[in-house]
Amino acid sequence: MSIPPEPIRAGQRRVMNHVAPTIEELLTPKGSSRITPWTIMILILVSIAVVACFHNQFLLGLGGLLVVSDDLDPADLIHILGGGFDRLDYGFSLYQQGYAPRFFVTGSDDALVYTAYLLKKGVRPEHIRPRISWSKTTWQEARELQQYLAQTPAIKSVIVVSQPYQMRRARFTFQKVLANRVTLQFSPVPFETARYQRVWWQDPGSRTTVYREYYKLLYYHLKY
């Protein structure tokens, strides 16, 4: 025997007959005119512009976290890390401005080239050390400086020069190795003359460098 369906009450009938509002109805306040396609297009374009603006600012900040730059005081030594002539040119400009009278150049593939360059620029041979470097990593460069300082107690302050995105790792490394042996200052090559770009995500070389530096920075913190 079949059971007859229960009668639908008035309140239930109103719920069943209710139709969900459209997106346009949700976006249009009661009593206002309908949203036109042009309005929707303008909203979309404004949204895209806002996202793009904050996207660029985020990426600039991400690269900027790797850059460390001190206000320089005169020092006893300029240590130019191996890796490129942009840092060598910048280090020499600091020498010309009188920030330090001597150079310490490292990098197993760079020290001899750096030395030859500085000699041609008129720097006296006794003001360049070492002539031959065994360093292949930033940690080794800091250790090499540590050995030199042990033999040269008169040096009390050092300016470390390298490319911008290496500087945070360089600061971590040199402070870890040298502790309070000397006063350290860090001066990156300005972006105007550096081989890497401030808008790093638009340049393949800069983009690769930023990615690698974050990896190396994590590696150094875990290892040392």
56 inside domain: no
Q: pTM surpassing 0.85?
A: no
34 inside domain: no
Percent residues over pLDDT 70 in the chain: 80
18 inside domain: no
37 inside domain: no
pLDDT in tens, 178-198: 999 999 999 999 999 999 999
pLDDT in tens, 103-145: 999 999 999 999 999 999 999 999 999 988 999 999 999 999 9
| Phi, psi (deg, nearest 5) at residue 208 | -65, -40
At residue 193, what is the residue type? T
Show the domain range for 190: 77-223
71 inside domain: no
pLDDT band at 50, cuts 50/70/90? Answer: low
Closest alpha carbon to 201 in 83, 84, 61, 67: 61
Place of tokens 């030395």: 115
Other C-beta atoms lying within 10 Å of the C-beta of residue 128: 19
CATH code of 91's domain: 3.40.50.620
Task: Give the total number of structural domains in the chain.
Answer: 1
Q: Integer distance in angstroms from the first to the last C-alpha of the chain?
A: 83
206 inside domain: yes
132 inside domain: yes
Interacting residues of 89 by C-beta distance below 8 A, sequence separation 6+: 193
pLDDT in tens, 141-178: 999 999 999 999 999 999 999 999 999 999 999 999 99
Q: How many helices (H) and strands (E) does the chain have?
A: 8, 5
Say what the pLDDT of residue 66 is: 97
15 inside domain: no
